[in-house]
Amino acid sequence: YSHTLFLTGDRLGLSTLAQAIYSLDPFSAQANVAVGNYYAVMRKRDRSVYYFKRAVHIDPTLVSAWTLLGHEYLEVKNPNAAAEAYRAGLLVEKRDYRAWYSLGQIYELHHMYPFALHYFWRTVQLKPHDPRMWQAAAAVLLKLNRIKDMVRCLECAEQYEPKDTDAYADIVRTLAQRCLLFDPAKAMAYMVKLMACEG
């Protein structure tokens, strides 16, 4: 529940929840996660890292705490510690797509594209109906100059992205541009789709 409050930016609700469950049991991992989320939403990174570290110390099997710790390490520009936190979470739950995705982002930021692609392929396997996972893989494939593979990924992203979003128009526009290189007929089909969604 604290994660939902964090995502909505509900500082008051998160503060109330964190104080309530921390006062009940300051040694529970969930209480420390709630407090960590509170400090994260307040952008007090050192405090949030402290409480997420406490949470994983109390319960090393709490995957969400490892993931949140990794996210906070990224916020304080410590990608090595973030990668360690994500990997620790994956030792507990190999199907946590957030950790795979975040590791892909870390390697992409360091221009280590083959490694990034490995992690993004894993996210695609775990969440094949999420267009963001396909787009992440496509972005790395473009950097590796694997245009046809990138187009295949974007075609999957297009399939799952709702048609009434800006993201859908961006995907179709990119497909139209890239298909011009090797399949003009397909490029024209994407241009027609693009005009339909922009018109």
Asked whether 92 and 114 are in contact (CB, 8 A), the reply is: no
Q: Which amino acid is at 91?
A: L
Q: How far is the C-alpha of 177 from the C-alpha of 21, rounded, in Å?
A: 53
pLDDT at 165: 92
Q: Which residues of the chain have pLDDT under 70?
A: 1, 3
pLDDT at 13: 85
Q: What sections of 59-130 are H helices per DSSP?
A: 63-75, 79-92, 97-109, 113-126
Structure pTM?
0.89
Asked whether 107 and 116 are in contact (CB, 8 A), the reply is: yes
pLDDT at 1: 65
Q: How far is the C-alpha of 91 from the C-alpha of 99, rounded, in Å?
A: 11
And the tokens for 13?
């609700």
CA distances, 177 to each of 126, 149, 186, 191 (Å): 29, 14, 10, 9
pLDDT at 142: 97
pLDDT at 10: 76
